[in-house]
C-alpha cells in the first residue's frame, strides 16, 4: 500500500538563531577595534566611544596611508 503524502506544516524557525548569531559575529569582526596592553601586560579593549580609541584609529589610518604611498612610489 503506497504512503500518503505528508501534510505541509508551518515553517519552523530552527536555524534562524544560528544564522543571526553568525551574521552578528561577522559584522563585529569587521568593525575596527582598539586593544592596548596595560602596564602589567594584560590586553584591554577600548570602547568605540572612548576618545583614546578614536585618536589611535586615526593614527593607524594615517600610518596605513603612509605605508601604501611608500610602497607605491
35-47 tens-digit pLDDT: 999 999 999 999 8
pLDDT value of residue 10: 67
Q: Could you tell me which residue, 10 or 67, shows the higher pLDDT?
A: 67
pLDDT value of residue 4: 74
Q: Alpha carbon of 23 to those of 5, 17, 31, 48: distances in Å?
A: 36, 10, 13, 20
4-54 tens-digit pLDDT: 777 777 666 666 677 788 888 898 888 888 999 999 999 999 988 899 999
pLDDT value of residue 70: 83
Spatial separation of the C-alpha atoms in residues 61 and 49, rounded to whole Å: 17
Amino acid at each position: 500500500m503506497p504512503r500518503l503524502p505528508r501534510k505541509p506544516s508551518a515553517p519552523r524557525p530552527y536555524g534562524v538563531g544560528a544564522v543571526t548569531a553568525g551574521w552578528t559575529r561577522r559584522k563585529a569582526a569587521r568593525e575596527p577595534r582598539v586593544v592596548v596592553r596595560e602596564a602589567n601586560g594584560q590586553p584591554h579593549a577600548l570602547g568605540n566611544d572612548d576618545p583614546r580609541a578614536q585618536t589611535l584609529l586615526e593614527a593607524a589610518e594615517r600610518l596605513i596611508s603612509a605605508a601604501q604611498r611608500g610602497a607605491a612610489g
